[in-house]
A and B are shown apart, each in its own frame.
Chain A
Amino acid sequence: MHTSSSVQIDALLEPNEKLLASLETNLDEALRFSSHFLFLTDRRLFSTRDGKEWRNLEGLDLAREEHGGVGRIELKSDVLIETWRYTMDRDADAQRLVKRFSGWFEEEEDGAIEKEIPVSSLTLFRLSRFAKPYRVALFSGFMLTLASTASSMVAPYLSMPLMDKVLIPFQNGIPIDRTRVAFYLSGLFLSALAAWGLGWARTYLLARVSERMGADLRVETFRHLQTLSLEYFGAKRTGDLIARIGSETDRINVFLSLHLLDFATDLLMMLMTAAILFSINPWLALVTLLPLPFIAWMIHYVRDKLKHGFEQADRVWSEITNVLADTIPGIRVVKAFAQEAREVERFAAANAHNLEVNDRVNRVWSLFGPSVTLLTEIGLLVVWIFGIKEISDKTITVGMLTAFLAYITRFYTRLDSMSRIVSVTQKAAAGAKRIFDILDHVSSVPESANPVPVGRLKGEISIRDVAFRYGSRRILRGIDLDISPGEMVGLVGHSGSGKSTLVNLICRFFDAAEGQILVDGKDIRSLSLAEYRSNIGLVLQEPFLFFGTIAENIAYGKPGATRKEIVEAARAAHAHEFILRLPLGYDSLVGERGQSLSGGERQRISIARALLIDPRILILDEATSSVDTETELEIQGALENLVKGRTTIAIAHRLSTLGMADRLVVMDHGKIVEIGSHDQLIAREGAYYRLYQAQAKQLDGEENG
């Protein structure tokens, strides 16, 4: 049936038209089965039911609903245009259709599917980009490895003549030749000395390089992370990101400096050993090396088994850190609701999950080591058997057999440790993948290819027909607004009406889906991002203070500020006097682990921070919402100083705080519904009037209560 329908579709499509999604809408209005299709192509949405099609999808919305096993797709703008129905077994198609319809997010959502693809160790090769600057050091490290391994091969080789030419003749009554013994023994000593010196130089050099590569990787990841848009951070958990940059880079580092190095040495040793063995006696060498393919096969087999396990263990590990990152900052809430026990339970559950996953991995893993040892012993046994037979046949000497056994014992003990490379490679590869997940993520607010230098803006903002969606949710539509330089505009509306989104678009934390935002007549997407943002001052509801002195916090946006400038900014922000009251004045430490300040004090420091960079555009995002009315009055004076002469956009829940605003913009459901001064809007008795009434009533209630 599917093939027949696809033939049908091809017939329906215009030349070069690309099918994006399709859905068999197999129920009609009366919920009787009927076979029709709904197609979404790169040109249109069309339905085979009555041959209707929509070519201009502007302003249209596609919604999916389900009720009682029947799915419903609705096409609507402001009014319902069409409805199609389908059985739930077609639901995956329907969801894809809706997603494609509303979507420019779908590319990123593919990331979820990508996660399921097992990590290949090849990911590690991508790290070579970080190895490039250290080519010379790496090459000399390799040569040192070669030399030190070669010198460690000398000892068993010398045991051969010692046995055959000295010890066995002595047993047969021939006296010991002292000069010959001295020669061999000093050879042994010198080779040991050389192996020691070269090994030291090699380990030091390569550890140094890998430490630097690890640091580069960490810094690069962090630098990239800083360029990503807020949207990325919104979707990620802090604990997870911290774990990635912190422990994953360290794990890769250890892998490079320790495991990979050892593995390379071992591999070299094996090749050299094999060459030596063959040069002594090819037959014995062949028998000796016989178990090797079995062990190699076993390693490969277990690698496959463990691959998924380690990745899962990794994910579970970040689950544990996530609980920590959740609970510790939120400890007040936890305690206030007396949910300590429940958090402990959650932590214990994450740990139990961790145990379970690791147990599963360890079951296979623990079998691995002993099995390798067993194979090793069997290998040695084979050499003994074959060796004794050869000696009795007089084809080899006793010295040769001892040399073989000495070589092979080393060889096999290394095999055992080489087998460890399986798991560490897997773990490192999983770590590398998680790092590259960050590095591969492209910022959704890219810097323009030819950024226009900004300089000092005048602060004229025009918003032209701007729309924004988050996922399939439409948050803003058809926003038009002009703000002249130095004007203060208050944004008013219920929560969820799109005020904060609009402000985020102006700051370019996100990019508008449609329309454009012009500042001084230039599209903000064409401006240099950093220079543009340096013209914007932001005062948030929850001011964030970094760990450091007050002076450093005030100078955050302008690290070179003089003490005089800092004091002036603090004075204008009405923060100077309370800072002087602190025991260490401007040198007092604040932020996490620092002096605790009240909400109003913190807010005034953040106002001073904004004042110091002297921005042309000022955003006040609920700057006074989290403080009481009295503190608000204190802040108000500071804000007045800040607002003076700057283009200001203020969001406030409390309408009374927007008294300074020249105009008020009332938003509702992602649209601007009213613009005007307070008095005009009150006189109009519209949306603003109702908001105002509601708040006045609430205030009355509070006073009377």
Chain B
Amino acid sequence: MAEYRLEKDAMGRLVYVSREGTRLEGVNPVRAFPLTSPDAGIALVSREGHELEWIDSIEAIDEANRALIVECLIQREFLPQIIRIEGITGPSVPNIWRVATDRGATSFRLKSEDDIRRIGRSTVIIAGEGGVNFLIRNISDLDRQSRKLLARFLS
């Protein structure tokens, strides 16, 4: 079904080759629902922000393009998932959270309890002061200690 083609140029940028053969450099894959369904709904977006292609599901892309898209997504998306909360300094905000994530251990400053937001029943997203969003996909996957720490700030 894919009449378009993706390539990678010498600068490592993704190049989109349309059905008509026009080339566009620096396109980006963007997930439309990064939290609720990351693999369904991916848009190829030009550098100017215009949608070039809509991909219903990551499964629907043919082999060659998929590898490029997945690679690009890995490099572009930065949404560390919290695996464990090691400790929180201080009883109230602002405070420092030490966490273990799927991208390694780190710490961030939480400015306000409002920056912890529930999405759906079990997903939580925490916005650190530095602008990085930390994801907890499922609260019940955390260990007891982490859940206890989180519960103090989660409404």
Residues of A within 8 A of B (CB): 549, 551, 563-564, 567, 571, 576-581, 583-587, 589, 593
Contacts and interface: CB of A to CB of B under 8 A. Distances in A.
A587 B56 contact: no
B32 A586 contact: yes
A605 to B, nearest CB: 14
B119 A549 contact: yes
A563 B30 contact: no
Q: Which of A578, A587, A593 has the most CB of B within 10 A?
A: A587
Contacts of B119: 549, 587, 589
Contacts, number: 53
A583 B133 CA distance: 9
A577 B51 contact: yes
A577 B50 contact: yes
A584 B35 contact: yes
B35 A587 contact: yes
A587 B33 contact: yes
In the A-B complex, list the 3 residue pairs whose CB atoms are closest, starting with the nearest: A587-B35, A585-B32, A580-B30
Contacts of B15: none
Contact of B33 (A571, A577, A585): A585
Given A549-B119, A564-B56, A577 B34 contact: no
A585 B34 contact: yes
A585 B30 contact: yes
B41 interface: yes
Interface in B48-74: 49-51, 54, 56
Nearest to B46: A577
Contact of A567 (B31, B54, B125): B54
B41 A567 contact: yes
A584 B54 contact: no
Nearest to A549: B119
Contact of A584 (B34, B37, B41, B114): B34
B100 interface: no
B32 A580 contact: yes
Interface string B27-49: 00011111111001101010001
Contacts of B8: none
Interface string B74-107: 0000000000000000000000000000000000
A576 B56 CA distance: 14
A431 B34 CA distance: 46
Contacts of A579: 32
B31 A577 contact: no
8 contacts: A551-B33, A567-B32, A580-B43, A580-B45, A581-B49, A584-B125, A586-B36, A589-B119
A189 B54 CA distance: 78
B117 interface: yes
Contacts of A551: 33, 36
B32 A577 contact: no
Given A567-B32, A584-B133, A585-B33, A577 B49 contact: yes
Given A567-B54, A580-B30, A580-B51, A587 B45 contact: no
A188 to B, nearest CB: 43
Contacts of A581: 49
A8 B133 CA distance: 83
A577 B56 CA distance: 16
Given A563-B33, A567-B32, A577-B49, 17 more contacts: A549-B36, A551-B33, A563-B32, A563-B37, A576-B51, A579-B32, A581-B49, A583-B133, A584-B125, A584-B133, A586-B32, A587-B34, A587-B35, A587-B36, A587-B119, A589-B117, A589-B119
Contacts of A564: 41, 56
A587 B79 CA distance: 13
Nearest to A570: B32
Nearest to B114: A593
A577 B50 CA distance: 6
A549 B125 CA distance: 12
A580 B49 CA distance: 8
Q: Which of A567, A571, A583, A584 has the most CB of B within 10 A?
A: A584
A444 to B, nearest CB: 37
A563 to B, nearest CB: 6
Contacts of B114: 593
A563 B37 CA distance: 9
Given A576-B51, A577-B50, A563 B41 contact: yes
A661 B86 CA distance: 62
Contacts of A578: 49
Q: Which of A577, A580, A581, A586 has the most CB of B within 10 A?
A: A580
Contacts of B34: 584-585, 587
A551 B35 CA distance: 11
A612 to B, nearest CB: 15
A586 B35 CA distance: 9
B73 to A, nearest CB: 13
Interface string B117-140: 101000001000000010000000
Nearest to A592: B114
Contacts of A549: 36, 119
A571 B54 CA distance: 11
A578 B43 CA distance: 12
B40 A577 contact: no
A586 B133 contact: no
Nearest to B41: A563
A164 to B, nearest CB: 58
Nearest to B43: A580
Contacts of B37: 563
A587 B49 CA distance: 18
Contacts of A577: 45, 49-51
A564 B43 CA distance: 12
Nearest to A593: B114
Contacts of A584: 34-35, 125, 133
Contacts of B51: 571, 576-577, 580
A354 B60 CA distance: 66
A580 B40 CA distance: 14
Contacts of B31: 585
Nearest to A587: B35
A580 B27 CA distance: 13
Nearest to A576: B51
A277 B35 CA distance: 72
